[in-house]
Structure 1
Amino acid sequence: MNNKIEKGDIVVINKSGKYYQQVGEVSEVDYNIFFVKIVLVKLGNQEETFEEKNLQLQTKKPSLQEVITSIDKILEQVTQIPHLPTQEKVELPNRLKYLKLDIPKLDKQLVQTNFDSINKILAVTREVDSSASFWQEIDPNLEKISWWIRTSL
């Protein structure tokens, strides 16, 4: 695993003080005039600056390949959704395939539009049957895709 802290990673603050052991998401990485890596960490609704040495990597943000794999896993589950209206039965797999093609292009607007449509269809579907087993596979993969979009584009 790459232990270099990058934007989008989840870190734990290991510097004693006010933020000790808090978990946050890296929102920016920069260097000061002495070439020391300075990391801006989002902690709840505030952001604080730390030197990289005061942070411990907890979770790497998903890679492009992991996101593509997540889309494939959701595509597999979509066929198991029984109460999907005919239009969504066609639109959802198509949107997922387009998302898979659009993500490597890093076109923020295109990716976000497709992801929002997928999310909307799945939200309506969840209202009909939220206890089905396929959600256990769809939800973490959807979250992984969302995390990548939020931190990569």
Structure 2
Amino acid sequence: MKEKIEKGDIVLINKSGEYQNKLGEVIEIDYNIFFVKIVIVKLSNQEEAFEEKDLQLQTKKPTIEEVIASVEKIIELVEYIYHLPTKEKVELPNRLKYLKLDIPKLDKQLIIKNFESIDKILVSTREADSSATFWQEIDSNFEKISWWIRTSL
């Protein structure tokens, strides 16, 4: 069975024309007067409407379970960040644990507050040591969390 296209998914445009074979993110789902599913897709700097039949699902947005697993993975990797100042050495794991607890509650304000604090700490820490190999894994997990927040709240 073909998976349903939902807000936040990444899709490939199959319709011939200007946007053929371009990737975009689904930002809205609507229906026309004939109950045909219309999918609004963000393509780089513009938005276009397509019928669902003109799209091919590429990547599903992360589930809550995947996002929580990403937070857990970052918590594990934080211990390898040696250049964390003392205050951040305590604050970063705590913020990550709070974020993990807030996600299932879908509390937008708390999630965004903790996410932004974590982001600031990671950005400043990366400046001190960006050569470490674990940053790639932190970044991919952090991007998954960011994607879920952007498309789910």
In structure 1, distance between residues paired with 2:123 and 2:58: 29
Cα displacement (A) at 1:2:
6.8
Alignment of 1:1-153 (within 5 A): 3-153=3-153
In structure 2, distance between residues paired with 1:50 and 1:80: 45
In structure 2, distance between residues paired with 1:79 and 1:41: 39
Cα displacement (A) at 1:30:
1.3
| TM-score of the aligned structures, taking structure 1 as reference length | 0.97
Cα displacement (A) at 1:31:
1.3
Structure 1 unaligned blocks of 5 or more: none
Calculate percent identity across the aligned residue pairs.
76
Cα displacement (A) at 1:110:
1.0
Cα displacement (A) at 1:11:
0.3
Structure 2 unaligned blocks of 5 or more: none
RMSD: 1.1
In structure 1, distance between residues paired with 2:14 and 2:35: 21
Which letter does structure 2 place at the counterpart of 1:37? K
In structure 2, distance between residues paired with 1:85 and 1:62: 32
Cα displacement (A) at 1:43:
0.5
SS in 2 for 1:93: helix
Listed one character per residue, the Cα deviations across residues 42-101 of structure 1 (whole Å, up to 9, x for unaligned) are 011110000000000010000000000000000000011111111100000000000001
In structure 1, distance between residues paired with 2:134 and 2:140: 11
Q: Which runs of 4+ in 1 moved over 2 A?
A: none
| TM-score of the aligned structures, taking structure 2 as reference length | 0.97
Distance 1:2 1:93, change over 3 A: farther
Cα displacement (A) at 1:4:
0.6
The number of residues matched between the two structures is: 153
Distance 1:44 1:71, change over 3 A: same
